[in-house]
Structure 1
Amino acid sequence: MSEFRWAGKVALVTGGNSGIGAAITRRLLELGLIVVVLDRNIDDLQELATKDEVYGRLYPRICDLRHENDVLETFRWIETCLGGVDVLVNNAGITGHNSLVEGSPDEWRHLLEVNVVALCLCTKEAVASMRRRNIKDGHIFNLSSTLAHTIHPYGPLHFYTATKYAVSALTEGVRQELRETKARIRVTSISPGLVKSNIFKSCLGADVHDAVYKKPSLNPSDVASAIEYALNSPTHVQVNEIIIKPMELLA
């Protein structure tokens, strides 16, 4: 393969310490990008950052995306130390514990802050960074879900589903706004089906985790491949959305 056109560019990945975010981080590093990763826990990333093949190109940073100042400070640091953001991957997301009729405003606010508000704030700051430098090939990825296209009967997923519907609307809204200003920034939504990760174990418990993964599922690397595909597409091609499902669930 000839030198990848994003080599040396700066990517920001939210929620990148494990699961899908970690797979995306590794793929971007393989493609030659400099990667800043935000997460509340960066233990795994700090170990990876010491490896010779990525040393000096991976910057893990502890960040609570619910705190606006944490996010803004990260973007200021990137501008000062790395020049600015060329690729943004809004990957961070959480699910709730309770159904709508048993849930609490605190839980709903938490989901909205991480899944929706933080995504909007990171997008706003990334677009501002790209515009300041008048870049010609920026890219924003929003990690959504097949749940943004359906309503699953499992109650604890319903508010999470609502946040992913919001992500779909926000993705298209940002795309339209960027098109109106003729910005050379592409926006892609990635909507995977069930992916092997610890999100169900951390949010809903081991029993739910075990029950869910009796079904066919994707690997985090499958989602990373979708990111790579969209990045590799010609600059005149806008990949609006990629929906990925395990083969057995295609019916």
Structure 2
Amino acid sequence: MDISLSEFGMERWSGKVALVTGANSGIGAAVTRRLLKLGLIVVALDRNIELLQEWATKDGSFGQLYPRQCDLCNENEVLETFRWIETCLGGVDILVNNAGVTGQNSLIEGNPDEWKHLLDVNVVALCLCTKEAVASMRRRNAKYGHIFNLCSTLAHMVHPFGPLHFYAATKHAVSALTDGLRQELTEVNTRIRVTSISPGLVKSNIFKTCLGPDIHETVYKKPSLDPSDVASAIEYALSSPTHVQVNEIVIKPMESLA
């Protein structure tokens, strides 16, 4: 197979535009920093962008970073963000669907408002961002395009901890949607690649935010990953040759069963 050197490595992504959701902390912040370091222009979305704004004001030391406050549950705000990217930056080349929330209750103690919120953030917003990113790539006949869905090892199992059951269901949905998207993109003959990243336990504030500090402290007594480990997986998939489709990367800490 005769493949030019430009088909390999990260060079082809230099100066391209990446959109990262849930970028103000945890995995999203680590991915944002990694992509900036690799020479990409990054539009970083979150409802709270305090950290991102701090980075953006450091005399360009973080590269071309554009923090955007956006509620992913608000369709108009999401669509306006994509319009702004098209107008100001030309369009999206890489989408990292990272934003996600977990619930506070088991299924038998839960409530529809909580379930709807998880679906809106973890599933519906992911689909909307993906639809708009794919449209941007196809309008421009982009030579390269890549979509990452941050899934979870919980997409492949059901953990016995009740408050994670509905969250796990949303991640099972993300896994199915990722496969469906890949099929659709193949059918319309695009070169857009789709990768699911399924990490195990990652050091972040998701449990503290949703379940409180006591649960947070208990959970992180177990082996866990650093957000930078997930960023490295994304870099690996991006740098793979363009004829290679990295469908899924599952990452677990050593000594972990989940």
User: Structure 1: which 5+ residue stretches go unaligned?
Assistant: none
Instruction: Report the 3-state secondary structure (helix = DSSP H, G, I; strand = E; otherwise coil) of the residue aligned with 2:100.
Output: coil
Shift of 1:54: 4.2
Equivalent position to 2:212, from 190, 205, 209: 205
Q: Which residue of 2 aligns with 1:167?
A: 174
CA distance in 2, matches of 1:213, 1:62: 29
Query: Residue type of the partner of 1:29?
Result: L
Does residue 1:16 correspond to 2:23, yes or no?
yes
The answer to whether the 8 Å contact 1:29/1:54 transfers is: no
Shift of 1:169: 0.3
CA distance in 2, matches of 1:47, 1:70: 22
Q: Which residue of 2 aligns with 1:184?
A: 191
CA distance in 1, matches of 2:63, 2:223: 38
CA distance in 2, matches of 1:203, 1:146: 19
Instruction: Report the 3-state secondary structure (helix = DSSP H, G, I; strand = E; otherwise coil) of the residue aligned with 1:153.
Output: coil
Q: Which is further off, 234-243 or 48-57?
A: 48-57
Indicate the percent of aligned positions where both proteins have the same amino acid: 80
Q: Which residue of 2 aligns with 1:228?
A: 235
Per-residue CA distance 1:194-225 (angstroms, 9 max, x = gap)? 00000000000000000000000000000000
Question: TM-score by structure 1 length?
Answer: 0.98
Query: Residue type of the partner of 2:178?
Result: T
Query: Residue type of the partner of 1:165?
Result: H
Evaluate the alpha carbon distance shift between residue 210 and residue 3 of structure 1 in structure 2; reply closer, same or farther with a 3 A threshold.
closer
Q: Which residue of 2 aligns with 1:146?
A: 153
Q: Which residue of 2 aligns with 1:156?
A: 163
CA distance in 2, matches of 1:176, 1:119: 17
Aligned CA RMSD, in angstroms, stands at: 1.4
Count of aligned pairs: 251
The answer to whether the 8 Å contact 2:33/2:62 transfers is: no
CA distance in 2, matches of 1:3, 1:197: 27
Query: Residue type of the partner of 2:172?
Result: Y
Does residue 1:217 correspond to 2:221, yes or no?
no
Per-residue CA distance 1:22-74 (angstroms, 9 max, x = gap)? 00000000100000011000000001012234466100011000000000000
Query: Residue type of the partner of 1:178?
Result: L
Question: TM-score by structure 2 length?
Answer: 0.95
CA distance in 2, matches of 1:3, 1:17: 24
Per-residue CA distance 1:76-134 (angstroms, 9 max, x = gap)? 00000000000000000000000000000000000000000000000000000000000
Per-residue CA distance 1:119-176 (angstroms, 9 max, x = gap)? 0000000000000000111000000000000000000000000000000000000000
